[in-house]
Each structure stands twice: as structure tokens, then as C-alpha cells.
Amino acid sequence: MVTYIERGDIFNIKGINSYAHGCNCAGAMGKGVALQFKKKFPLMYKQYKDLCASGKYQLGDVFLYQFDEVFVFNLATQQSWKTKADKDAIRTSLTKMFDIACKYDITQIALPKIGAGLGGLDWIEVKLIIENVASKYANINLYVVENFDGEI
């Protein structure tokens, strides 16, 4: 099930300790919510950057980072920060994320508005992709914050 939150901060949703966000495959987290992830999880950022440099992080991939009880799904949705997000990569990475969540018994994930901010895609089209993929995973609640309300 997908719950949309018009305004908020994914890190401030009560009871959530699993997060996802769209990433590029170039190793950069310099703007938007990605910068928040970089600041909150510097070791994750280093691992992500190394993965990108090795060429092993491609469109549609998911890099899962675990820190104590926190899970972060880094979804490879853009080739670089200069390109638009890719709809097929969004669909593929979301599917992989849900599959991984099932293996770890993760039932709640918070996600910002991926692909449509810095990713340049139409949010209505991305929402349809999210809803289509999420509909196949009824046991996982996805909370999507459509507009960030906080400090970056």
C-alpha cells in the first residue's frame, strides 16, 4: 500500500527505520534528499561512491545499506546528475527494493518523490510506476513524501 504525505521529511515519520531514495550511477550525492543521506550516513556514501567508481552500480540496481536497525535502499534511477531519471530504472529498482524488503521482513519504507525533482520526470507518471510496482507487495507499506519540509 502506498500512502502519500503532501509535506514532510522521510526521516521524521514515526516508526519508520527503512528508507529509499533515487541515486545516480556517477557517485554524486550533492543536492536534494541525496545530500541528506550523504550527511546522515557518511560510510554509506563512501561505499556507494566506490561502487559507482567500480562500474558495478548500474541503472535499475539497488545498493542496500544497513546501519544497526536502519535500512537504506539506494535506487539507481539516473545515469548521472546531468541526465533525467529513467522510468524503466525506477520500475526495476523499486521491484528489487520490494523483493529485498520481503527477504528482510521489512514492512514499512519511506521514500521521497523520486525521479521528478532533480530527476526531471513528470511526477504523475512516476506515481503510476510506484503504485503499479507497490500493488504487487501488499504486505509492505510505502510512505511517499511529495514535498520536503525541513533543512538540507
pLDDT per residue over 19-61, tens digit each? 999 999 999 998 888 899 999 999 999 999 999 999 999 999 9
How far apart CA 101 and CA 110 sit, in angstroms, is 12
Q: CATH number for the domain including 116?
A: 3.40.220.10
Q: Is the pTM of this model over 0.85?
A: yes
Q: Which of 111, 124, 121 is nearest to 1 (CA)?
A: 111
| Domain membership flag for residue 151 | no
pLDDT at 149: 77
Q: Give me the domain span that covers residue 37.
A: 2-145
Q: List, for residues 89-98, the tens digit of each pLDDT value.
A: 999 999 999 9
**CB 27 within 8 Å of CB 53:** yes
Residue 39 lies in a domain: yes
Q: Structurally, how many domains does the chain consist of?
A: 1
Is residue 152, in this structure, part of any structural domain at all? Answer: no
